Every structure is written in structure tokens, then in C-alpha cells.
Amino acid sequence: MNSPGLSRPRWRKSTHSGAVENDCVEVADLDGQVAVRDSKAPATGHLILTRQAFAVLLTHLR
């Protein structure tokens, strides 16, 4: 399946990462959607959310 932005997503790490740099969540903008992955295991895949669903997730995590 080809999704916009998935060929070379620009991943960025959470600003709330712990002391160990590899222990965090990374996100990427996918042209209207947000991808989320575990930085410790980036090859295992990622979760794609709508911007609205990502906002709801962040609200619940706070």
C-alpha cells in the first residue's frame, strides 16, 4: 500500500524523551495524517492516525 509521505517520512523524536536518547516515541507528518513509531524498534512498523485521532491520543496521555 502506498500512502502519501511514507516513502521517506521525516521522523522526529518526542521532546519528552527520557535520559536514554533511544527510549522515545517518534512521529512523522504524512500529509494530513500522523505516523507514530517506537524509536527502539523502527523497523517493526508504525501506527498511522488522523490528526484528530492523534490530538485525542495526546489529550488522553496528558
pLDDT tens for residues 27-59? 999 988 999 998 888 899 999 999 999 999 999
Q: Which residue has the cell 488522553?
A: 60
Q: Is the pLDDT of residue 13 over 80?
A: yes
Quick one: pLDDT at residue 35? 95
Asked if 14 and 27 touch (Cβ cutoff 8 Å), the reply is yes
In terms of C-beta density within 10 A (0-12 exposed, 13-18 middle, 19 or more buried), how is residue 57 classed? Answer: middle
Quick one: pLDDT at residue 22? 60
Q: Which residue has the cell 521532546?
A: 15
